[in-house]
Amino acid sequence: MEGHPELDTLAFEQDEPTPINWAGMQKYLVGEMAKTFNQHWGSGAHDLDYMSPRQVTRELCACRKVGANYVLNIGPTGTGAIPDHERATLGLVGRWTQMVGDVLYHGRTTNVQCSSRDFVLEHDGKQYLFVHDLRIDGDHNVVVAGLGGSGPRTLRKFDQRVKTIRWRDNDESLNFMQDVERGYLTIDCTPYPYGTYLVVRVVEIEV
């Protein structure tokens, strides 16, 4: 039970973790989401229902949003091999984590309020906004509609004066407006360049 002095980990079995209130606790309680790649533990020779790179990336972000760890089960074959579909998915998610790994693994949760699934982590004196549902830039004939939007994203309870803001993946500088006294920061999030879709894109905010 949360708050028990002998408890080290709060587990969210097959479900997205919720924020943990550390106030008054004698030690840091770790959240943990245990999840399977498919609908059961282990491998299945005739199982065709596996998570996509988008699902894994979003679930990983949902865990880090509340300071929890993501424990993803891999079902090896009887000879110890990793099935091709799981290997391919992990490879693509691994490419994403290489771009934001330091923030993803060492970033701490903040009280900054965001819209939808977006959230902010703090690491090494900087703030990082994880942006979901961003669209791809391109003509409507070559870009699938419904991937999301671009433009202003407003953060609340952000009372640090900002120096610069940029995309972490390509160093593109972003325009922003700030009301420090009221704790508002609005960032003009440009769309993905054509041919790019990272599922979740990270903004670096230097304060």
Q: What is the DSSP string of 25-71?
A: -SSPPEEEEEEESSSSSS--TT------HHHHHHHHHHHHHTTEEEE
Check pLDDT > 80 for residue 4: no
Is the pTM for the entire model greater than 0.75? yes
pLDDT digits (tens, 9 = 90+) for 106-164: 999 999 999 889 999 999 999 999 999 999 887 777 777 666 678 899 999 999 999 99
The CB density around residue 77, as the number of other CB atoms within 10 Å, is 10
Q: How many residues does the chain have?
A: 207
pLDDT per residue as tens digits for the range 175-205: 999 999 999 999 999 999 998 999 999 999 9
- Provide the terminal-to-terminal Cα distance of the chain, rounded to the nearest Å: 38
Can you give the pLDDT at residue 144?
A: 73
| CA–CA separation, 206 and 200 (whole Å) | 19
Cα separation, 69 vs 72, whole angstroms? 10
Half-sphere exposure of 82 (CA within 13 A, CB side): 10
CA distance 172 to 66: 28
Query: Could you tell me which of 100, 136, 129 has the C-alpha nearest to residue 187?
Result: 129
Query: Between 3.30.70.270, 3.40.50.880, 2.60.40.1180, 3.90.220.20, what CATH number should domain 109-206 receive?
Result: 2.60.40.1180
Task: Provide the residue ranges of all domains of the chain, joining segments of one domain with +.
Answer: 9-106, 109-206
